[in-house]
Amino acid sequence: MGTNNYFPEGMRLGTAENREYISSIAGLEKAMAQGKILESTAIICDRDMNLHVDLYGVEGIIERSEAVLCRKGEELKDIAIITRVGKPVCFKVISIDRSGEKVKVYLSRRAAQLECVNNYFSGLICGDIIKAKVTHLENFGAFVDIGCGISSLLSVDCISVSRISHPRDRLTCGDVIDVAIKMIDEENQRIFVTRRELLGTWEENAALFSPGQTVAGIVRSIESYGIFVELAPNLAGLAEFRDEKLGCSVTVGQSAAVYIKSIIPERMKVKLVLIDSCKGEQPPMRTSPERVFIDTSKVTHLDHWRYSPEGASKIIETFFDNGSSF
């Protein structure tokens, strides 16, 4: 069997190798013989809940029973099939029917997902860093594709250290991001992931700023004693009001200009002064693009991550349990 890389769906769609296999019957036959995982776009879901896939004029069919790999005790829901229309789907070629006027190619997404579970997920442990694609956002977190359309939850508290009200404050559907395996639930065959450990420690983020600077941030919380303003995904500071009128005009989610008064590592504090807000002038912004402080081309696993500086009174850290496997 040929070697496959178990990417999130959509990542192999535009590759030359994928196009070569799906653009001819000979290519599809070769892929079937080699056990290749391919991708194309689902264009129709018929009344029998079969997906029809674009194969350059050849009819590709993923029958309902082959559309999704269900977990233990789960029933296949039609919505899981319908929502694939218009989106990339991975598959393996399982048969080619030449008996009729038109050639029909039968495909299995379930087989591709099963291979991904057996050959890829079975080797993952907590702390491993992998690629994921954001597929859906809810109040409680983001669902991400961690390989061949198999979903994992990135809970809202694991997206960053700086608190956000909704995952859309940080992520957009279609984003391809790095995540670390947080927990593996073997009994229910689920993997949970985290991202905040890749976005830098307090010191790494604080080093990007200096007292005396005026910088842009995002208002994340308004309290009676001040306003929490995000300077980076893993760094927020508390802003004083320059005047009461300005403080009353600020709303959560808007951008603001803040003066950095002081940076105090032992207390993990950044003291700010609110200079101006941008309400009504432009849509809510993000801080500068998320910076991943780990070179994921070289570092593929974490055992331990500590956010807090040495000597800080409050300790924020993550220990990854290496004993878990899928």
Give the CATH number for residue 309: 2.40.50.140
Query: Does the residue 59 lie in any domain?
Result: yes
326 belongs to a structural domain: no
Do 129 and 45 belong together in one domain? no
Residue 195 shares a structural domain with residue 206: no
Q: Say yes or no: 161 and 110 in one domain.
A: no
What percent of the chain is modeled with pLDDT above 90?
Answer: 78
**What per-residue confidence (pLDDT) applies to 286?**
52
Do 220 and 178 share a structural domain?
Answer: no
What letters, b where the CB count within 10 A reaches 16 and e where it falls short, cover 50-83?
A: bbbbebeebebbbbeebbbbeeeeeeeeeebbee
Which whole number is the average pLDDT over 204-231? 94
* pTM (whole model) above 0.75: yes
State whether 27 and 176 are in the same domain. Answer: no
Across the range 144-158, mean pLDDT stands at: 97
Which residue range(s) make up the domain with 254? 202-277
- Any idea what DSSP says for residue 37? -
Would you say residue 105 lies in a domain?
A: yes
- State the pLDDT confidence band at 24, using cuts at 50, 70 and 90: very high
Long-range pairs, 138-147, Cβ under 8 A, ≥24: 138/167, 139/166, 141/167, 142/167, 142/171, 144/8, 144/177, 144/179, 144/193, 145/8, 145/9, 146/8, 146/179, 146/191, 146/193, 147/6, 147/7, 147/8, 147/116, 147/120, 147/121
Over residues 144-163, the mean pLDDT reads: 96
Report the domain count for the chain: 3
Is 225 in the same domain as 101? no
The two beta strands, 104-108 and 58-62, are: parallel
* pLDDT at res. 326: 44
Q: Confirm whether 3 is domain-assigned.
A: no
Q: Report the chain's mean pLDDT, rounded to a whole number.
A: 90
Q: What is the Cα Rg of the chain in Å?
A: 24
pLDDT of residue 2: 42
Question: Helices in 120-193 by DSSP H: which ranges?
Answer: none
Residue 287 lies inside a defined structural domain of this protein: no
Task: Say whether pLDDT at 269 is over 80.
Answer: yes
Q: Answer yes or no: is 39 within a domain.
A: yes
Determine contact, residues 231/205, Cβ cutoff 8 Å. yes
Same domain, 159 and 254: no
Residue that terminates a domain, selected from 93, 119, 145? 119
Residues 304, 194 share a domain: yes
Does residue 206 share a domain with residue 164?
no
The answer to whether 53 touches 87, Cβ cutoff 8 Å, is no
Does residue 4 form part of some domain?
no
Are residue 21 and residue 115 in the same domain, yes or no?
Answer: yes
